[in-house]
Amino acid sequence: MSDLKRLSLLSDYYEFTMANGFYEAGLADRVACFDMFFRRVPDNGGFAIMAGLQQVIDYLKDLHFTAEEISFLKGKGIFSDGFLDYLQNFQFCCDVWAVPEGTPVFPKEPILTVRGPIVQAAIIETMVLLCINHQSLVATKANRIVRAAQGRDVMEFGARRAHGTAAAVYGARAAYIGGCAGTSCTLSDQLFGVPAMGTMAHSWVQMFDSEYEAFCAYARKYPNNCSLLVDTYNTLKSGVPNAIRCFDDVLAPMGCRPKSIRIDSGDITYLSKHARKLLDAAGYPDCKIIASNSLDEYIIRDLLIEGAKVDQFGVGERLVTASSDPVFGGVYKLCAVEKPDGTLRPRVKFSDNVGKITLPCFKRTWRLFDKDTGKAIADVITLHDEKIDEGRPYELFDPDHTWKRKTVDHFIARSLCVPIFKKGALVYQSPQPAAIRDYCAEQVDTIWDEVQRFENPHTYYVDLSQKLWDERDRMISEYTGYKQTPAPRV
């Protein structure tokens, strides 16, 4: 990553051309509001996991333009001297709100909002999307895999198959937030405290004249952390028997117990069942069995249904690349513009593709929790200055099918987004990844099991407040001449 230490120019080129145009039009300081949201959950799941906010914070804290970068832009021949002077004196001064990392999130709701000068709010779009899209994708996939493992540890083993150095390092961080126990990536341990884990490669076994000799050499070197890879030649005929012989001959005299064996190929269910019998019969019921080899949530789920005797899983390429659905699809859209008199005017994007019509207005998202069960009932997007009164019944309605409605009471309403920057000053203290991981597990537990299903999950509703629905309806009517069926009134 040494060639990517400076990230100020990591922006789509049109952000700079538009910023130059805004500056020349006298709009550089005009305040605009942008929302980041996503339209669908990867793998058609019931929810996603927010991640990547810390890297957005790191980027915004250090956002400035060097003489070398300004010289590069000047060399393009299209940027005005006034705009380049603006960049030379650039100081980030936007307000930013975001959903904390580790929070379950749902389509169409704002997960990050920026309010500030249009030039600044526009230039940061690419990095905001890059950081959150990537890590939210991996954290979401990791959480699915961890839930499939039913309490067994999942280790992220994907660095060698990641799409570049940054993807390996930050992918391990995101996987840890999503619930993985650790990673094979040593650098992620150094940078983020994600526990580095691993056993051995087949090359270790192949370097010695015999499998038994290889195991003994490893056991003598790491007697308190002895984990042996048993499928280099034949798992049941040589690998497990040689591992047991090594445990007897090397570890037992030292008063040590083996940590685990790992199976990386073959029929995992069959091999793990027989390996478990051999280990137990030899007096090693505490020796865990690790399975790896192109696993994902569906394979892990099937292994456990079949009764595989696996205690831990190592998951690589299908996790760190989210190969089954490798695009998160978050977008960053203008939702309001401040007029010269200080009032905010809503903005909306229309499209023949109904799913691409945006939600106007400066907004916030609330999550309603049942006071008795602690489970999440629904999310509600409101105008930013609206409050949800927990002391009164609240009527929820589907914003697209307004006849679907439900009145709830005895609930707690929590605003999902928290302040991150105020006028460019950082006001948020980021938790450590281990704390985010714990928080993620707690928050996922508030989601009903029906929403957590891998196939055909129950729809978790993200509704609009009456005032926001009315404003959206007004704008649709104004732009299209079409009046929607009135929404129910509370």
Ordered DSSP codes for 148-198: HTTTSEEEE--GGGSSSHHHHHHHHHHHHHHT-SEES-HHHHHHH-PPB--
Domain boundary among the residues 269, 285, 320 is at 320
18 within a domain of the structure (yes/no): yes
Q: With contact defined as beta carbons under 8 Å apart, do 28 and 118 qualify?
A: yes
24, 87, 373, 382 from 361: Cα distances, Å: 26, 29, 33, 9
Distance separating alpha carbons of residues 64 and 19, to the nearest angstrom: 15
Same domain, 46 and 174: no
Tell me the β-bridge partners of 345.
Answer: 337
Same domain, 116 and 222: no
Q: Which two tokens mark 43? A: 């793998």
Mean pLDDT by runs of 10 across the 490 residues of the chain is: 73 97 96 97 98 98 96 97 97 98 98 98 97 98 98 97 96 98 97 95 98 98 97 98 98 98 97 98 98 96 98 97 96 95 91 86 97 97 96 94 93 97 97 98 98 96 96 89 60
96 within a domain of the structure (yes/no): yes
Same domain, 55 and 24: yes
Beta strands (DSSP E) in 384-456 are 394-397, 405-408, 411-415, 418-422, 425-426
Beta strands (DSSP E) in 394-486 are 394-397, 405-408, 411-415, 418-422, 425-426, 462-464
Rounded to 5 degrees, φ, ψ at 71 are -60, -40
Report the candidate in 73, 48, 251 with the shortest Cα–Cα distance to residue 135: 48
Report the candidate in 25, 20, 26 with the shortest Cα–Cα distance to residue 81: 20
Same domain, 305 and 188: yes
Number of domains, the chain: 2
206 within a domain of the structure (yes/no): yes
Same domain, 158 and 131: no
Tell the burial category of 424 from Cβ atoms under 10 Å away from its Cβ (0-12, 13-18, 19+): middle
351 within a domain of the structure (yes/no): yes
Tell me the β-bridge partners of 228.
Answer: 261
Domain boundary among the residues 268, 297, 320 is at 320
Distance separating alpha carbons of residues 325 and 131, to the nearest angstrom: 17
CATH number where 332 lies: 3.20.140.10
Same domain, 157 and 286: yes
Tell me the β-bridge partners of 263.
Answer: 291
Q: With contact defined as beta carbons under 8 Å apart, do 361 and 383 qualify?
A: yes
356 within a domain of the structure (yes/no): yes
Same domain, 91 and 185: no
Rounded to 5 degrees, φ, ψ at 426 are -70, 125
Q: Which two tokens mark 476? A: 């649709």
Nearby residues of 352 by Cβ (< 8 Å), 6 or more positions away: none
Q: With contact defined as beta carbons under 8 Å apart, do 459 and 137 qualify?
A: no
Same domain, 93 and 191: no
Q: What is the pLDDT of residue 3?
A: 52
Q: What is the pLDDT of residue 476?
A: 87
Q: With contact defined as beta carbons under 8 Å apart, do 305 and 323 qualify?
A: no
Residues in the chain: 490
Q: With contact defined as beta carbons under 8 Å apart, do 369 and 414 qualify?
A: yes
Same domain, 305 and 345: no
Same domain, 250 and 195: yes
Instruction: For the chain, state the CA radius of gyration.
Output: 27
Q: With contact defined as beta carbons under 8 Å apart, do 182 and 196 qualify?
A: yes
Same domain, 212 and 168: yes
Q: Which two tokens mark 463? A: 């509704």
Tell the burial category of 129 from Cβ atoms under 10 Å away from its Cβ (0-12, 13-18, 19+): buried
Domain containing residue 332: 2-138+327-363+415-461
Distance separating alpha carbons of residues 271 and 278, to the nearest angstrom: 11
* Helices assigned H by DSSP within 222-283: 240-246, 268-281
184, 190, 277, 333 from 11: Cα distances, Å: 31, 28, 57, 16
62 within a domain of the structure (yes/no): yes
Q: Which two tokens mark 401? A: 């099918």
Can you give the pTM of this predicted structure? 0.95
Same domain, 128 and 162: no
143 within a domain of the structure (yes/no): no
Distance separating alpha carbons of residues 184 and 171, to the nearest angstrom: 11
374 within a domain of the structure (yes/no): no
Distance separating alpha carbons of residues 22 and 32, to the nearest angstrom: 12
Domain boundary among the residues 258, 291, 320 is at 320
CATH number where 162 lies: 3.20.20.70
Q: What is the pLDDT of residue 485?
A: 57
Distance separating alpha carbons of residues 488 and 463, to the nearest angstrom: 12
Report the candidate in 276, 328, 323 with the shortest Cα–Cα distance to residue 295: 323
